[in-house]
Amino acid sequence: DPCRNFHCKKGKVCHVDKQGKPRCICQDPAACPSTKDYERVCGTDNKTYDGTCQLFGTKCQLEGTKMGRQLHLDYMGSCKYIPHCTDYEVDQFPLRMRDWLKNILMQYYERDLDTSGFLTEKQRSKVKKIYQNDKRLMAGDHAIELLLYDFEKNYHMYVYPVHWQFHQLDQHPVDRLLTHSELAPLRASLVPMEHCITRFFQECDGDRDKLIALKEWCHCFGIKE
């Protein structure tokens, strides 16, 4: 099968032409496999799609048009009302996000105590120091004042989680720049819970080149050069 090891980007499928050569063509949205309710996604056109297959197939068919360029995965789940993010809320957002990233690494570390696999040995050694110091501030909802105080007092514990998340997202390609599609796995899953995440990432892009460099990412989270 010529298509067996032939890779197509999202929204396209492999098709063998008359000469027997594989090529990528747009996925027909109507031919996408049926999905469950929880697999629905909301596009940036504020339209609910039955899954990412249907969304990216539609985007592919609009390729070359303004609508196609602007259509992206907005967030997981059916489209709903997302409240406006105020200036005050976007200022507080990095505090919660830093704490959340740190707690994810704590959970990975605890799971690795039983069965390894979530973190590499190098990552484990870095997280171990954070983990041992983290019993003062247990995971959960914390007052903004407490998060700010902890960040100022234990700044070193927040640096690695912020770097770690950047490199988790920086995959296609690994170039120390985050594109919209690389940010999507994190952003799209958080929008319904953290309505400021879209504005936060927009403002992170200081030079407005639609790419977030590591320096811009760290600056947004209050990490010094």
pLDDT tens string 67-110: 999 999 999 999 999 999 999 999 999 999 998 999 899 888 88
Residue 29: both structure tokens together: 């949205």
112 confidence band (pLDDT: 50, 70, 90)? confident
CA gap 108, 123 in Å, rounded: 10
| Structural domains for the chain | 12-76 (3.30.60.30), 87-221 (1.10.238.10)
Query: How high is the pLDDT of residue 121?
Result: 86
Minimum mean pLDDT range among 54-63, 137-146, 173-182: 137-146
Average pLDDT (44-71) is 95
How many CB atoms lie under 10 A from the CB of residue 70? 12
Tell me the pLDDT tens digit for each residue of 150-180: 888 888 889 999 999 999 999 888 999 999 8
Average pLDDT (34-38) is 88
129 confidence band (pLDDT: 50, 70, 90)? confident
Going by C-alpha positions, the residue among 100, 41, 34, 45 that lies closest to residue 75 is 41
Residue 68: both structure tokens together: 């196609």
189 burial via Cβ count (<10 Å: 0-12, 13-18, 19+): middle
CA gap 28, 131 in Å, rounded: 48
Tell me the pLDDT tens digit for each residue of 203-225: 999 999 999 999 999 999 999 87
CA gap 41, 188 in Å, rounded: 9
CA gap 141, 15 in Å, rounded: 50
CA gap 118, 4 in Å, rounded: 30
